[in-house]
Amino acid sequence: MLVAALSADDPDTVRTAFAVPAAQTLDPALLDGLSRLRPVTIDEASLRPYGNGTLEGTAATGPTGRRSTWHIFLTRLDGSWKIAATEAR
């Protein structure tokens, strides 16, 4: 669900991938930037507890041959995992 939300063209669907308040909108530049990072994959085997219900792991973005690796932090909100933070590797 998380990767599908990140890959959506609908801003409201993309917003569901992030741990942000319900009333907060996402910057259109973020949405444009995400579309250029596709495809997005999360290495589920890399996910480890970080503390306080947060997981940390690895994600990759971009097409084959131009992939970028990211350190991601996920938090569980309303029964779904959401992106709390990312850091380029």
Tell me: pLDDT of 22 over 90. Answer: no
- Residue length of the chain: 89
The CATH number assigned to the domain with range 2-88 reads 3.10.450
What does the domain layout of the chain look like in residue ranges?
Answer: 2-88
Other C-beta atoms lying within 10 Å of the C-beta of residue 60: 15
How many helices (H) does the chain have, and how many strands (E)?
3, 4
Look up residue 35 and give its two tokens.
Answer: 């579309």
Say if CB 41 and CB 59 are below 8 A apart: yes
pTM: 0.90
Look up residue 12 and give its two tokens.
Answer: 């409201």
What is the tens place of the pLDDT at every residue in 61-78?
999 999 999 999 999 998
